[in-house]
Structure 1
Amino acid sequence: MNSDKHPENSHTTLLLSRFKDITSSIMDASYAGSLEQVLERIARVSAELVQARYAALGVPDGEGGLRYFKVSGMTPQEISHLEHLPRGKGLLGVIAKERKPIRVERIQDDPRSSGFCSGHPVMTSLLGVPIQVRERLFGILYLCDRTDGQPFSEEDEWLIETMAGYAALAIAGSELSEQRSRLTLLEERERISMELHDGVIQSLYAIGMYLDLMRTSDSAQISDLKPVIADLNAVIEDIRRYILNLKMSSYRQKTVYEALRDIVARLHVSETIRVEIDAPDTSPPFTPGAFEAICQMANEAISNALRHANARHVQISARQTEDSFQITVGDDGQGFDLRTTNADTGLGLRNMQQRAYLHGGHVHIDTSPGRGTRVTISVPPIM
């Protein structure tokens, strides 16, 4: 049957084909690696959809300018010759303000036009639509000059408006993905910062104290440097593990007592301080990752007692109750006012609280000036 006798069927088939092009194009754009790539693909496909010579997509920055501006139909060299990128004035400003599509046969004759900047190619017809979801404007998609010389039609407007509706979802999805990536990066930075403060910095501080004691000792021997060298190598390994998120591997085979004993050993306790450990020599009731976090909290509490408390006696105990596992670090030092902690101590205490919270537990600190400090770390068992 000759399709020319049924132009409506032919037209319907063409529209369905173009609509399929829209959905395919948006799906393709959604798989782009970045928001800018999504915008570039939407601009390019929009031009192909209505046979436009030029297409552009601008994303406002909220301050009257554009955060992104992607063009189809102009070379990078041509774009570099522009006096400035669009500033959201003239007809583009109308689209952004009124949030409605516009079609203009001759841009030069429209009183709302603000003209073209130096270096801008001369364009005649315009079809522009807002890219929005409800009240949020994601951008402006506009096209200029059909390749056949005809003005943009009502059908073209419908197609591009449909494209813009799908484009809004693709842009929103891409923005969400980028925000999630930034959040992941911030979380990773926070993790490494916590690990460095609670582990590496404490170890380095202890090594420094030990070296100071050696420097002032009349009986120091070269052989005394062996534990320092071993601890420095351990710190280097810790840094590598922290960055690669492999730190938990060093806690897999340790009992509770062994882990606490090793923490104390690496802090190089002064001979003037007596440290007692009362802990079960059994496997911890945790996954390696959870136990690693608990040991970091214990490391911070023990290090604070040795560094800041001016204590002579530090007691470390660990025990399991019906609903929690507790590590307590107490000292007979000078105590402190929780409201006036310094930057280093305050950061360490915040890290402890955060680690406990992430594992469903809490940290209780009982202290005041002149009567020592008692830190209790409570975390529910996790196997």
Structure 2
Amino acid sequence: MPTVPSDHRHAGSPPTDRIPVGPPPDGTLPACEPCLAGIEAVSQALLAMSRHLEVREVLRRITASARRLLGAEYAALGVPDDHGGFAQFVVDGVTDEQWRAIGPLPRQHGVLAAMFHETGAVRLDDVRTAPAFGGWPDAHPELGAFLGMPIVDPDHAEDEPAVLGVIYLANKHGGGGFTDHDEELLRILAAHAALALSNARLYERSRELTLAGERARIAHDLHDAVSQKLFSLRLTAKAAAKLVDRDPARAREELAEVARLAAEAADELRSVVVELRPAALEEDGLSATLASQVQVLDRAHAADIAFAADRVRALPQAQEAALLRVAQEALHNALRHSGARRVTVTLAGTPARGAVLRISDNGRGFDPESVRRAGRHLGLVSMRDRAAAVGGRLTLDSAPGKGTVVEMEVPGA
């Protein structure tokens, strides 16, 4: 596959396409509107990348920024795995319908694979003429002009560059090929993209370690506090049972001790649960935290679990915590008790600057009144209490064979 050296001039590209480096010999700095426009565009792209810390969102921002910055019709970013495929592959300029029609993620072959072994840009007038070109699926868009740029790990040894991913651009708007100027802009963007991607990975790893440490601490607290009280409670209850016939007065004393221990255990458990509020809620906000938790549950359970958010503003801290807890409780019920094959979580802003949380499933459903009479609450009392405590309202709609919908609305600030 032909590789374009960084100092080559593409056929038809005048020398002025190169971005000037340093001041002119006479020391003056003439106005250069195209240069200023390019700097501003790069700045906007970098700001868009820096606002996000989750890897998937950073990849999307890099891809969209590269396409807009260089005026390309299509853009993609591939991150390699260790098995000849892509760990992640993000596209921009292709609709969801087109992407579904194209089919499974591409393997590392042809031009895509060759780019993972390049340390510099690859620029082609027509990608279809490249020796490594291997065609594409029937539904794939027709690509012509091509520019690829590796994202190189900035912390890797200089003599052993490690490619974190590759940005692919195709079909310059207005026709023609990509220029030296385009290549330099994309090189700058790729260098900053490497930092953004590395930071996002470190951030996610840090969060994983924080969560693991928090789980260990909570397990320790549960063992030291709650489990010991439950053990004492069980022994006391057994003693009361043996005393019921021969010493009723002593049995009543033991039962009073059972009640006391149970109340203490409930308080201990409640304090641990309160501490479970993830730090991510304060750092990332409710939408991102819910999306992350739904993603984890979707991987862990057979049911298909989806999340969507629409026009959600930042809410008071107490309301976000209550909404998160209600979502967790409703998801727990849906996944453990309903037999649902699909669970959908939506979070939408309201005109009054509040929010509505909705958790729906296609499970077996139940009769809420029968559950209430049987003394089985499925956390409904707790959910209603949480909603009321922050000025919100919780409703539940369910019937046998009809699935369940839990909805909570809060007024916002």
TM > 0.5 = yes
User: Which residue does 1:56 correspond to in 2?
Assistant: 76
Q: Is the 8 A contact 2:45 2:69 kept in 1?
A: no
Q: Tell me the secondary structure at the aligned position of residue 221 of structure 1.
A: helix
C-alpha separation in 2, matches of 1:10 and 1:101: 29
C-alpha separation in 2, matches of 1:11 and 1:178: 43
User: Which residue does 1:103 correspond to in 2?
Assistant: 123
C-alpha separation in 1, matches of 2:108 and 2:217: 42
C-alpha separation in 2, matches of 1:137 and 1:39: 14
C-alpha separation in 1, matches of 2:79 and 2:242: 65
Does 2:60 match 1:40?
A: yes
Q: 2:145 aligns with which of 104, 121, 125?
A: 125
Q: 1:94 aligns with which of 100, 114, 134?
A: 114
Deviation at residue 131 of structure 1 after TM alignment:
0.5
Does 2:50 match 1:30?
A: yes
C-alpha separation in 2, matches of 1:85 and 1:194: 43
Does 2:287 match 1:236?
A: no
Alignment of 1:91-170 (within 5 A): 91-133=111-153, 134=156, 135-170=161-196
Q: Deviations over 1:90-125 (max 9, x none)?
A: 111111023331011112211111211232111112
Question: Counterpart of 1:238 in structure 2: which amino acid?
Answer: E
Deviation at residue 56 of structure 1 after TM alignment:
0.8
Structure 1: runs of 5+ lacking an equivalent: 1-5, 247-383
Question: Counterpart of 2:274 in structure 1: which amino acid?
Answer: L
C-alpha separation in 2, matches of 1:15 and 1:61: 37
Q: 1:195 aligns with which of 207, 221, 224?
A: 221
Question: Counterpart of 2:99 in structure 1: which amino acid?
Answer: I
Q: Tell me the secondary structure at the aligned position of residue 116 of structure 1.
A: coil
C-alpha separation in 1, matches of 2:238 and 2:166: 66
Q: Deviations over 1:69-90 (max 9, x none)?
A: 2211111111111122222211
User: Which residue does 1:181 correspond to in 2?
Assistant: 207
Q: Is the 8 A contact 2:152 2:163 kept in 1?
A: yes
Calculate percent identity across the aligned residue pairs.
29
Deviation at residue 20 of structure 1 after TM alignment:
3.1
Q: Tell me the secondary structure at the aligned position of residue 164 of structure 2.
A: strand
C-alpha separation in 2, matches of 1:189 and 1:129: 41
Alignment of 1:269-348 (within 5 A): none
Deviation at residue 245 of structure 1 after TM alignment:
3.0
C-alpha separation in 1, matches of 2:172 and 2:46: 22
C-alpha separation in 1, matches of 2:38 and 2:238: 77
C-alpha separation in 2, matches of 1:143 and 1:98: 16
**What TM-score, normalized by structure 1, do the two folds share?**
0.59
C-alpha separation in 2, matches of 1:154 and 1:11: 20
C-alpha separation in 2, matches of 1:28 and 1:170: 10
User: Which residue does 1:257 correspond to in 2?
Assistant: none
Q: Is the 8 A contact 1:83 1:118 kept in 2?
A: no
Deviation at residue 137 of structure 1 after TM alignment:
2.0
C-alpha separation in 2, matches of 1:11 and 1:117: 47
**What TM-score, normalized by structure 2, do the two folds share?**
0.55
Question: Counterpart of 2:234 in structure 1: which amino acid?
Answer: G
Q: Is the 8 A contact 2:146 2:171 kept in 1?
A: yes
CA RMSD of aligned residues (A): 2.3
C-alpha separation in 2, matches of 1:50 and 1:224: 78
Question: Counterpart of 1:162 in structure 2: which amino acid?
Answer: I
User: Which residue does 2:351 correspond to in 1?
Assistant: none
Q: Tell me the secondary structure at the aligned position of residue 102 of structure 2.
A: coil
In structure 2, relative to structure 1, the CA distance for the partners of 1:35 and 1:10 (3 Å cut) is: farther
C-alpha separation in 2, matches of 1:132 and 1:166: 10
Deviation at residue 10 of structure 1 after TM alignment:
8.1
Report how many aligned residue pairs link the two structures. Answer: 241
Q: Is the 8 A contact 2:237 2:254 kept in 1?
A: no
C-alpha separation in 1, matches of 2:177 and 2:184: 14
